[in-house]
Amino acid sequence: MAFATRQFLRAISTAAAKKLVVKHVTVIGGGLMGAGIAQIAAATGHTVILVDQTDEILNKSKKGIQESLKKLAKKKFADKPEEGTQYIEKVLKNLTTSTDPVSVVHSTDLVVEAIVENVAVKNELFKTLDKFAPEHTIFASNTSSLPITEMANATTRQDRFGGLHFFNPVPLMKLVEVVKAPMTSQKTFESLVDFTRALGKTPVSCKDTPGFVVNRLLVPYLMEAVRLFERGDASKEDIDVAMKLGAGYPMGPFELLDYVGLDTSKYIIDGWHQLEPENPLFAPSPLLDKLVEEKKLGKKTGEGFYNYQ
């Protein structure tokens, strides 16, 4: 009897430690990042539900996904257009949309959040979904700069919560930062790494530190370029040329700032400055603040450090 009991307990322990194989994915947020994540998940055989607030947003998201798939199919099936059409149809069959996140998380394995970079809004979303998602469901945020731990603490599943930071454009960029917060279980972390690989991406692991790996290095570099320009040490044009020709970067820092959006960069650096006000790497920039105040946000508004009009 004792032997049978030990076997039973061992079986339970083994089952509990087994990694979750993600098959059903719910992506919250139909913007560029959310739509891109939904696309690659559907393209790799996952059942995907893309969620946003209105059908209008979701129709725009789905149209963007279709256009992206057409471009990929044109390259992938250049000599076999019929196979390209079949590929697009197959991917789209794996993708549905909804405006009601609560009603669709009941059968999902993974929730990936890709909404506005506002921790209060994200916390409220996760707090609500936590009440309706199954116990096994893993929650992940695509945030590029906000603390994963704070979002996890808005739920009762801190051990089943992590970060999955994708890069834009999602279908083309190979990297995903898999963020392990202090309470993230090893089982959850490994499941997220496996999911990343199943998408055809390359995962890198990181603790829950401001900016994770890429942005922790990239944003201070961009800010130092702005400070160099603010001091009058070099023109923005020469700084861009120097980094492209001297460091081999595809874009200069000012070109990249305009591409990313000056408001996004300001939001990140302001958040980090609040966390570590004594850290000189996180010091705000008067020039960046001025441009954002004037609504000169970069390419998306037609003007930032450069004029695109």
Question: Which of these is catalytic: 144, 145, 191, 265?
Answer: 144
Question: Which tokens sit at 27?
Answer: 């992506």
172: CB partners within 8 A, 6+ apart: none
Active site (annotated) includes residue 285:
no
| Contact (CB, 8 A) for 25 and 105 | no
Amino acid at 166: F
Q: Distance between CA 191 and CA 170 in Å, rounded?
A: 20
Phi, psi of 14 (to 5 degrees): -65, -45
Q: Distance between CA 143 and CA 132 in Å, rounded?
A: 22
Question: Which of these is catalytic: 117, 165, 285, 303?
Answer: 165
Question: Which tokens sit at 219?
Answer: 């944003």
Cα–chain center distance at 90: 25
Active site (annotated) includes residue 177:
yes
Nearest CA-CA partner of 157 in 190, 184, 179 = 184
Amino acid at 93: K
Question: Which tokens sit at 2?
Answer: 């004792």
Active site (annotated) includes residue 215:
yes
Amino acid at 268: I
Question: Which of these is catalytic: 191, 215, 265, 285?
Answer: 215
| Contact (CB, 8 A) for 147 and 119 | yes
Residues designated catalytic: 144, 165, 177, 215
